[in-house]
Amino acid sequence: MKERKNRVCPVERAGSLDSRIRKLYQNPEKMLRKYVRSGMTVLDLGCGPGFFSTAMAEMVGESGLVIAADLQQGMLSKLKEKIKGTGIEKTILLHKTSENRIGISRHVDLVLAFYIIHEIPDQERAMKEIWSILKPNGIFYLVEPKYFHVSKGEFEESVNKALKLGFSVVERPRIFLGRAAVLKK
Ligand SMILES: C[S@@+](CC[C@H](N)C(=O)[O-])C[C@H]1O[C@@H](n2cnc3c(N)ncnc32)[C@H](O)[C@@H]1O
């Protein structure tokens, strides 16, 4: 059971993560506009093909930066191809993580972890690193998939791990097909 939950989302699923239909039920602008502003540096952890990275790049603008980080080079290559020659190409920095380390040296205003934390075997270690990457008062926006993957109890366990590290809950936004918590450092 544990093995299935921690399995990394295959690159073949990238298309379904990056569809136009998804914008109708998980709209990045609506979800993030309270927290992402022009000039910010944000981390899209487990960015996949970049459904949220590209939207956040528009939101932070030319003076901001989106670090799009993923374990799989195949996901990063899809995103690289998608932004090639576009106006947001320079706003997105692609970063390959290792299984046990995010490994970025910049400090960021917000970390988005959308549908990724259940794929990380050592969540506590990952959250400690997220804490260290965030600026003071930075935001950790956590969303996990509702059905099949992550039960309510498991999601609450993840939130509790974050609370133990010192995060506090700002809000529990309602996200279709997701369980979400916005946490503050
Ligand atoms: C279900 S996908 C979600 C992608 C994206 N966040 C979205 O919502 O469209 C999970 C992503 O997390 C990545 N991932 C899994 N474990 C990771 C880790 N330890 N570090 C970085 N990325 C990881 C996978 O490669 C995959 O691209």
**59 vs 32: CA distance, rounded Å:** 9
Q: How many whole angstroms from 38 Cα to the centroid of ligand 1?
A: 25
Question: How high is the mean pLDDT of the chain?
Answer: 94
Helix (H) or strand (E) holding 30: helix 28-32
Q: Is the CB of 116 under 6 A from ligand 1?
A: yes
Name which of 31, 88, 32, 79 is nearest 51 in CA terms: 79
Q: What is the pTM of this model?
A: 0.96
| pLDDT band at 2; cut points 50, 70, 90 | very low
Q: Is the CB of 141 under 6 A from ligand 1?
A: no
Q: What is the residue extent of each domain of the chain? A: 2-7+18-184
- Chain position carrying tokens 């699923």: 13
| pLDDT band at 149; cut points 50, 70, 90 | confident
Which residues lie closer than 8 Å to 34 by C-beta, 6 or more apart? none
pLDDT in tens, 13-30: 898 899 989 999 999 999
Q: Is the CB of 8 under 6 A from ligand 1?
A: yes
Q: How many whole angstroms from 39 Cα to the centroid of ligand 1?
A: 25
For a ligand 1 pocket test, name from 4, 8, 111, 150 the mutation site with the most ligand atoms within 8 angstroms of its C-beta: 8
Atom of ligand 1 nearest to the CA of 44: 6
pLDDT in tens, 46-83: 999 999 999 999 999 999 999 999 999 999 999 999 99
Angle at 24 between CA 18 and CA 28, to 5 degrees: 65
pLDDT reading at 106 higher than 80: yes
Q: Is the CB of 3 under 6 A from ligand 1?
A: no
Minimal-distance CA residue to ligand 1 atom 4:
48
**173 vs 178: CA distance, rounded Å:** 9
Fold of 2-7+18-184: Rossmann fold (3.40.50)
Which residues lie closer than 8 Å to 3 by C-beta, 6 or more apart? none
